[in-house]
Amino acid sequence: MSPTCLLPLFASIWPARALTPRTSSLRTRTAASASAPGGTLDALSASLPFLDAGMYTRDARYSGLGVTLTGREACAAAAHAWRDTLPSRLRNFAVDGMTVLPPDARNVIVCRYRLCFDAPVPPAVLPGQRRRLDAANLRIDGGRTRVTAVVAASLRLDRDGSRVCRHEEALVADPLAVGTSIAHFELLSARSAALQPGGQLELLREPLAYWSALRGMMRVELDEIRRRSESDEAAVLGGEGGVSDDEFEAAFRAYMVRIFAIGFAPPLAAFALAKVLLRVASDSVGLGAGGGG
């Protein structure tokens, strides 16, 4: 089953809504002339989005795209796994438009970049799914379309301004757009698969990656729906906004009930109807035999 088979289904029923090496020629980098002490800004700009262990402090923390990691080794291991795995799982993968700004007064470096790749177009089964795909006007070649995920990152440096102690990333493009939702799902799935353990759990790698991507993408979309529903004043007073963990878990359970209802209700109804027809046919045969006697 394609890992994106449920992707348009989610967007249609939810309310309110190949291996190629990564080369520097595919990247457009912009950085201010000022740099952090020791050339940190230049080093980060050259390494992003996948930082090496030497660029993290011992107690560094990474948070973003559904993943939270603590410690230099964990952060560096995840970055290494993503660096190796994403180009092999995401066809014609490229990092583009990397823009890195110098550290501000809080010693925080902010940057933005695009992850571009060719993603499979999920099958459109329901009429609403077909309408969404048709309206998106995607350029489809061989069942794939070129998609882009835009990532914004902030990197807080230590007191010396030489290493990263906090690394946060977020998807910032419209998560409800068809092309962007495909990009987000495939990216989250590839990132999750890269972090899944091997060995005896190898068979569970894809199901676990799919599950993680589904949850991560739903969280992004729910946050966006909440953001759009709030007034400007409420957004300012409410800080970052978004749904709480409890709200997300409740919404995710409701979504899974809908998915299983859509998937199992028709077969169960057909089975029940067949049983009724079989009983009626059996009764008719019995009455006919009795009348003949």
What local confidence, expressed as pLDDT, does residue 41 receive? 85
Instruction: State the SS3 of the chain.
Output: CCCCCCHHHHHHHCCCCCCCCCCHHHCCCEECCCCCHHHHHHHHHHHCCCCCHHHEEEEEEEEECCEEEECHHHHHHHHHHHHHHHHHHCEEEEEEEEEECCCCCCCEEEEEEEEEEEEECCCCCCHHHHHHHHHHCCCEECCEEEEEEEEEEEEEECCCCCCEEEEEEEECCCCCCHHHHHHHHHHHHHHHHHHCCCHHHHHHHHHHHHHHHHHHHHHHHHHHHHHHHCCHHHHHHCCCCCCCHHHHHHHHHHHHHHHHHHHHHHHHHHHHHHHHHHHHHHHHHHHHHHHHC
Range with the lowest mean pLDDT among 96-110, 192-206, 260-274? 260-274
One domain, residues 179 and 283:
no
Range with the lowest mean pLDDT among 241-245, 282-286, 288-292? 288-292
One domain, residues 190 and 227:
yes
Tokens at 291, concatenated: 């009348």
Q: State pLDDT tens for residues 81-119.
A: 999 999 999 999 999 999 999 999 999 999 999 999 999
One domain, residues 186 and 284:
no
In a domain, 156, yes or no: yes
One domain, residues 116 and 169:
yes
55, 44 in Cβ contact below 8 A? Answer: yes
Residue 133: CATH number of its domain = 3.10.450.50
**Region 262-283 average pLDDT:** 61
One domain, residues 196 and 230:
yes
In a domain, 290, yes or no: yes
Residue 261: give the domain boundaries: 244-293
One domain, residues 94 and 164:
yes
Chosen domain end from 224, 242, 260 = 242
One domain, residues 291 and 153:
no
- Domains in the chain, number: 2
In a domain, 32, yes or no: yes
In a domain, 1, yes or no: no
One domain, residues 181 and 262:
no
**Region 218-241 average pLDDT:** 66
One domain, residues 215 and 261:
no
In a domain, 237, yes or no: yes
One domain, residues 290 and 236:
no
Q: Which residue has the higher pLDDT, 262 or 87?
A: 87
pLDDT > 80? residue 143: yes
Distance CA 10, CA 209 (A): 17
One domain, residues 178 and 255:
no
In a domain, 2, yes or no: no
In a domain, 213, yes or no: yes
One domain, residues 63 and 77:
yes
In a domain, 68, yes or no: yes
